[in-house]
Amino acid sequence: MALNLRLSDDLAEDLRERSRETGVSQQEILRRALERFLHAEAPAPPASGYRANLLPARRPFHTATERLTLPRGVSSESLLDRDDRI
């Protein structure tokens, strides 16, 4: 399969330099990198919900001066779990 790939100038230069240093063609370097990426063990799926990924704060960002009042039946947890992110 033929493929066109657009690289940033910096990445293209790094690829050319690695090819010159190693004597391996740019195509072969990219093939090897893609093979390693595609056959690498997939990362574990995130634990369900946002809570499993939270770390406690080392210190508060700032002291809240105002309190948010949510409508009846709406919790901050339900707002965090919404899927209508922008």
For residue 74 the two structure tokens come to 């709406």
For residue 62 the two structure tokens come to 């700032």
Instruction: State the maximum Cα–Cα separation within the chain, in Å, rounded to a whole number.
Output: 67
Residue 47: predicted pLDDT: 62
For residue 2 the two structure tokens come to 């033929």
Cβ-in-10-Å burial (0-12, 13-18, 19+) of 64 comes to exposed
- Which domain, by its residues, includes 13? 9-39
Contact 80, 50 (CB under 8 A): yes
Number of separate domains in the chain = 1
Q: Is residue 35, in this structure, part of any structural domain at all?
A: yes
pLDDT digits (tens, 9 = 90+) for 36-78: 988 887 776 666 666 666 777 777 777 777 887 888 888 888 8
Q: Is residue 28, in this structure, part of any structural domain at all?
A: yes
Give mean pLDDT, residues 30-40. Answer: 92
Rounded to the nearest integer, the mean pLDDT of the chain is: 83
